[in-house]
Amino acid sequence: MENLLSKKSIVTLALFLLLSLNAIAGITVFVVAGPVKDPTVIINGSGLVELIWKSGKFEVFDSATYVYFDAYVRLGGLDTVTINPSHGWHIDVVLFDGNPQPILDEDGFSIIDVNAKRTVSVTFVENGGVDDVDVGSNATAYPDPDVGLIFDDVLAEGYAYAYVIGLRQLDQVGESWDIQTTAAFVNNITIYLVINITELPPGFDPYDLALWRTEVVLGDVNLDGIVDGTDVSIIANANPNDPDPRLDLNNDGVVNNEDVTIASHNIGLESVWEPLESWVFVEDDLVYVYGVTEHLSIYGVTRNR
């Protein structure tokens, strides 16, 4: 494919103002009934901890459940502890009986031959806008709990970045994401956004959402799809005492005639706004909006047209 290196991209949630999905970070303590060797599992943040016993039995704990178990499933002693963060989170601290354990992989790993422990404590932390991209096929990256990338094939490892920005297209206003990756890849990327269904407008059908691809031309500062005299005028009349960074086209820290010149040279060039092949999956209170593309550019969620 032509795009071995990804392009800068933006994810736009348009038509309605959409608040960020707030992943629930909490502390859940699992108190296990039975003999004194039965462990207590403490989870901070969002993720899964699986205990596998020498008998072959296993139990999975997460940050949203509180369960008592009978002692018989632990006959034979504890063998393996597997730790997996939720999408957009990573493993920060692992303690066995209060003793720190090495973090083999922040995206998930297993520790074998654990033997009986009284307390297993794991702390998960949100990725905070960046995640690593591993080499291989079906490589995943979750820079934020609200944003995920799935690559068909990654040739060289890198990082995926995501942060909320402001973006407006015509009269459509919404929350926007700037998503970038430094990984070298081929074939498709599946991009998805996670939306809290309770934050959609009343009566809004989540299945009316679709993912859009956009490439904004430098100088289209009002994001109406074309660079014209209106954009040049906006830049020329910018407040020099409080410059808008969106108008600083050359990123030199000021908005001046150089930025006006850049916009003037691009007059007549049009930005691209087109739908991607996309689909919607709803589970509980979450809406997953997926889209497939061959490269990263700019993406937006809006109503199907």
Q: What is the pLDDT of residue 260?
A: 94
Structure tokens at 290: 């997926």
pLDDT higher for 227 or 68? Answer: 227
Integer Cα distance of 149 and 177 in angstroms: 13
The single-letter DSSP state of residue 46 is: S
Give the pLDDT band of residue 29 (cuts 50, 70, 90): very low
Rg (CA), the chain: 24
39 class by beta-carbon count within 10 Å (0-12 exposed, 13-18 middle, 19+ buried): buried
DSSP 3-state of 28: strand
Q: What is the pLDDT of residue 264?
A: 94
Mean per-residue pLDDT, 261-288 = 87
Give the pLDDT band of residue 292 (cuts 50, 70, 90): confident
pLDDT tens-digit readout, 199-212: 888 888 888 887 77
Q: What is the pLDDT of residue 291?
A: 87
Domain segments of the chain as ranges: 9-22+129-303, 26-125
Q: What is the pLDDT of residue 166?
A: 57
The residue type found at 26 is G
Mean per-residue pLDDT, 223-234 = 88
Give the pLDDT band of residue 70 (cuts 50, 70, 90): very low
Q: What is the pLDDT of residue 176?
A: 66
Give CA angle at 212 (210, 215), nearest 5°: 175
The residue type found at 74 is R
Q: What is the pLDDT of residue 31?
A: 36
Contact predicate 147/301, CB 8 Å: no
Integer Cα distance of 291 and 269 in angstroms: 26
110 class by beta-carbon count within 10 Å (0-12 exposed, 13-18 middle, 19+ buried): middle
Q: Which residue has the tokens 């992989």?
A: 105
Asked whether the predicted pLDDT for residue 183 surpasses 80, the reply is: yes
pLDDT tens-digit readout, 103-157: 999 999 999 988 766 688 899 999 989 999 999 999 999 999 889 999 999 999 9
Structure tokens at 225: 């799809």
The residue type found at 149 is L
pLDDT higher for 252 or 233? Answer: 233
Give the pLDDT band of residue 74 (cuts 50, 70, 90): low
Phi/psi-derived region of residue 212, left when phi > 0, alpha when psi is between -120 and 50, beta in every other case:
beta
Mean per-residue pLDDT, 45-69 = 79
The DSSP line for 157-216 is -EEEEEEEEEEEETTEEEEEEEEEE--EEEEEEEEEEEEEGGGSPTT--GGGEEEEEEEP
The residue type found at 194 is V
Q: What is the pLDDT of residue 250?
A: 84
